[in-house]
């Protein structure tokens, strides 16, 4: 059976992939979680009925071609909290409080995924939702179209670039390459937020040990 693979690149000035273990002062993972990568793919194209869906497989941390690598940039970021945990008085008075987080700066990723058959039915010529979703995704990516604007974690972190991978096969004014000098043991990495990829219930899962290691700028989603 054919593998319906896709890829894209996304970059921007800021990104936030919250670590659940950092509590009220959130700190970002160096890379998107599996669920975040899935959300980025689905901002380009997805099927409401779940007959086909995109499973993230790996991510590359990238840098501008020829630039010095091996580093990640973190910085403090302060914003207003207006969520459901505010007190009744704060909500009535429309007050908020500020909290500080540690976000990433100047990021670039290459995301890879494979389209899975979510219907359980045998794929046939003329009735192949995996092939259809792949074609829609690739066409939209090439034309700069999307279902909604992709973001780098939080909604306010809009990318400076999203589109096809900027390599030798896609010559552009700014080309990128994998930053192979980055090697990080994440200790624990949030894998999925829900128990199923489509129409799931909230049930976070994590991976540890060798499954939570970024090696040569690459991380493979378990």
The predicted pLDDT at position 186 comes to 95
Average confidence (pLDDT) over 20-47: 93
Cα separation, 210 vs 25, in Å, equals: 27
Domain 5-220 has CATH 3.30.70.2660: yes
The predicted pLDDT at position 1 comes to 47
CB atoms within 10 A of CB 194: 15
As beta bridge partners, residue 190 has: 206
The pLDDT tens digits for 96-143 are 667 789 999 999 999 999 999 886 666 666 678 999 999 999 999 999
The predicted pLDDT at position 123 comes to 65
Sign, Cα dihedral of 85, 89, 95, 99: negative
Q: At what angle do helices 129-143 and 34-44 cross, to 10 degrees?
A: 80
The pLDDT tens digits for 72-83 are 999 999 887 666
**pTM of the entire predicted model:** 0.88
Q: What is the mean pLDDT of the chain?
A: 89
The predicted pLDDT at position 84 comes to 60
Cα separation, 94 vs 197, in Å, equals: 36
The predicted pLDDT at position 39 comes to 95
The predicted pLDDT at position 210 comes to 93
The predicted pLDDT at position 171 comes to 78
The predicted pLDDT at position 124 comes to 65
């Amino acid at each position: 059976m054919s593998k319906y693979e896709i890829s894209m690149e996304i970059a921007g000035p800021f990104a936030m992939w919250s670590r659940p273990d950092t509590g009220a002062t959130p700190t970002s993972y160096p890379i998107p979680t599996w669920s975040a990568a899935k959300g980025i793919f689905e901002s380009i194209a997805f099927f409401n009925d779940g007959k086909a869906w995109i499973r993230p497989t790996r991510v590359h941390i990238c840098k501008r071609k020829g630039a010095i690598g091996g580093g990640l940039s973190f910085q403090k970021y302060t914003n207003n909290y207006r969520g459901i945990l505010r007190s009744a008085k704060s909500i009535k008075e429309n007050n908020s409080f500020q909290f500080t987080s540690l976000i990433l700066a100047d990021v670039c990723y290459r995301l890879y995924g494979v389209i899975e058959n979510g219907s359980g039915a045998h794929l046939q010529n003329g009735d192949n939702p995996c092939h259809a979703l792949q074609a829609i995704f690739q066409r939209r990516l090439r034309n700069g179209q999307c279902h909604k604007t992709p973001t780098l974690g939080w909604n306010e972190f809009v990318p400076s670039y999203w589109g096809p991978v900027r390599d030798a096969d896609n010559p552009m004014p700014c080309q990128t390459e994998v930053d192979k000098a980055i090697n990080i043991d994440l200790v624990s990495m949030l894998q999925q937020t829900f128990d199923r990829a489509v129409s799931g219930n909230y049930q976070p899962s994590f991976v540890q040990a060798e499954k939570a290691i970024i090696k040569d700028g690459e991380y493979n989603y378990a």
